Amino acid sequence: MASSRPQRPRLDTTTPNMGRVADYFLGGKDNFAVDREAAEAALAITPELPALWREGRRFLGRAVRFLAQEAGIRQFVDIGCGLPTQGNVHEIAHSVAPDARVVYVDNDPMVVVHGQALLQDDRLTVVIEADVREPELLLSHPRLTEMIDLDEPVAILLFGVLQDIPDDALVLQISDHLRKAISPGSYMAISQPVSDLRPEATAKLAAFYQDEGAISGPRREGLRTKTEVERCFEGLDLVDPGVVYIPQWRPDGVVLHRPDSIWVVGGIGRKA
């Protein structure tokens, strides 16, 4: 009988994987030849990709610091966490609140194995394998429910992951499910690359990743627009300054790239 469950990615060294491609862009070593080739081909289309990834990590840092420091959040669920790199969510959260609990979630077995090995001595941080396309299963994972009390405020982080799900209706179902599952006073933070600033190049890039098999699901022409990403925050109160290009989200004064070269938007919403 055919299963309607999303396909679980295998540890496949013949198909590029977005997490490993990102690792290559960030100067990491956890990537295979196929990832490096895909990364180089993607760079030929959009040479600014490494800058996007670096700005993505800087946004993650500012967002998690805001959540731990200003919003007082002590529970984090980082979905599509990717391979461990520098400035990971638990490191930032623990620098503000040493008692914060962090659950990392990814559907890539390589990410999960790596993270588990790195964090085996950390009582307050776990890594689980789950798929954001199955949010109910994800939130009821026994390792997650041991760490996270969904009756208390929590921050759900979706940094650079929803663009890997081409189905718009599914993405809205996911954000809706997550919003309903969290308690008042909780937050959802999302970042996603968008098409608005560079429609042609980003459409080419999206087609390339889909052709390479790095993104699965129904084919989608191009990336989402900023307005489409904003819909994921429906039902939440947007924290100032709203959904903006990530260098403009509460900047820390260090300007590394021209803001209009970073076509990733991000924001944080609060459940009232």
Ligand X SMILES: C[S@@+](CC[C@H](N)C(=O)[O-])C[C@H]1O[C@@H](n2cnc3c(N)ncnc32)[C@H](O)[C@@H]1O
Cis peptide before 241 (omega within 30 of 0): yes
Stretch that binds ligand X, among 29-37, 141-149, 159-167, 228-236 (CB under 6 A): 159-167
Give the amino acid at 203: A
Q: With beta carbons less than 8 A apart as the criterion, state whether 265 and 226 touch.
A: yes
Angle subtended by helix axes 18-25 and 49-65, to nearest 10: 100
* Rounded Cα gap, residues 127 and 106, in angstroms: 8
Q: Shortest distance, CB of residue 157 to ligand X, whole angstroms?
A: 7
Quote the tokens at residue 258.
């021209």
Question: Judged by CB under 6 A, does residue 56 bind ligand X?
Answer: yes
168, exposed or middle or buried, with CB in 10 Å at 0-12, 13-18, 19+?
A: middle
Query: Tokens 């980003």, residue?
Result: 202
Given candidates 74, 133, 198, 270, which one binds ligand X under the rule CB under 6 A? 133
**Interface with ligand X by CB under 6 A: which range of 74-82, 144-152, 182-190, 247-255?**
74-82
Q: Distance (Å, rounded) from C-alpha 227 to C-alpha 194?
A: 9
Determine the residue with CB nearest ligand X.
82
Give the range of 94-102, 130-138, 175-183, 201-209 binding ligand X by CB under 6 A. Answer: 130-138
Is 106 a binding residue for ligand X by CB under 6 A? The answer is: yes
From 16, 61, 80, 135, residue interacting with ligand X (rule: CB under 6 A): 80
Site for ligand X in 35-54 (CB under 6 A): none
Is there binding between residue 160 and ligand X (CB under 6 A)?
yes
Binding-site size for ligand X (CB under 6 A) equals 21
**CA gap 235, 240 in Å, rounded:** 16
For binding to ligand X (CB under 6 A), which residues are involved? Answer: 18-19, 22, 56-57, 60, 79-82, 106-108, 111, 131-133, 159-161, 164
